[in-house]
Chain A
Amino acid sequence: NAGVTQTPKFQVLKTGQSMTLQCAQDMNHEYMSWYRQDPGMGLRLIHYSVGAGITDQGEVPNGYNVSRSTTEDFPLRLLSAAPSQTSVYFCASRVGFDTEAFFGQGTRLTVV
């Protein structure tokens, strides 16, 4: 059971480049989320999904897009990378409304 898998684990981008962070879960979880972690600020919600075909914005959505075409996958797209998007990104999933969240191992992104 792989749980929540994020790829890549590390990435360096140049300003203006675009890329997609991948997130996949094999637990048939309906709820999936993307967070970013910055020093001294904890984790902040970027986007989330409550099921295939349904997404919504979180606390810090600007500069990011998401889609949810299948239950398993929830990719996060950076449209035009900026140095302010240098961060560690976490994907999380959970099966239901009142259950715990499982996190991937994170992606450390550096934008130069």
Chain B
Amino acid sequence: AQTVTQSQPEMSVQEAETVTLSCTYDTSESDYYLFWYKQPPSRQMILVIRQEAYKQQNATENRFSVNFQKAAKSFSLKISDSQLGDAAMYFCAYRSGETSGSRLTFGEGTQLTVNP
């Protein structure tokens, strides 16, 4: 079974600075997808960024980028120029590309605080 681990329960960053959230996963599959979701106090789950395992290039979305290290099974999220609106719980998630179904396996989450 796949597992996802986020070893940082809480992180803080100063506004306009850069922060990196860590995520590691365990799988024996070669075809899979990785995601970062943001959950603000409104509780809504918002997709931040997505990475396909077969792509060597790291995904980027505006101020958000990932460092995908397939051999190390690591998938960290970098937030540049942090804004107050980035404060939220962030979840790393894994989904198999080899089996059908709707299973997303989530990490425990990292609570990000942005200080003005």
Contact = CB atoms under 8 A, between A and B. Distances in A.
A41 B102 contact: no
Contacts of A106: 43-45
Interface residues of A, number: 28
Nearest to A90: B45
A40 B44 CA distance: 17
A88 B41 CA distance: 13
Contacts, number: 62
Nearest to B106: A42
A106 B109 CA distance: 17
Contact of A42 (B4, B42, B100, B101): B4
Interface stretch (A16-24, A76-84, A91-99): A91-99
Interface of A: 31-33, 35, 40-45, 48-50, 56, 58-59, 88, 90, 92, 94, 97-98, 100-101, 103, 105-106, 108
Closest 3 CB pairs of A and B: A42-B106, A103-B45, A48-B102
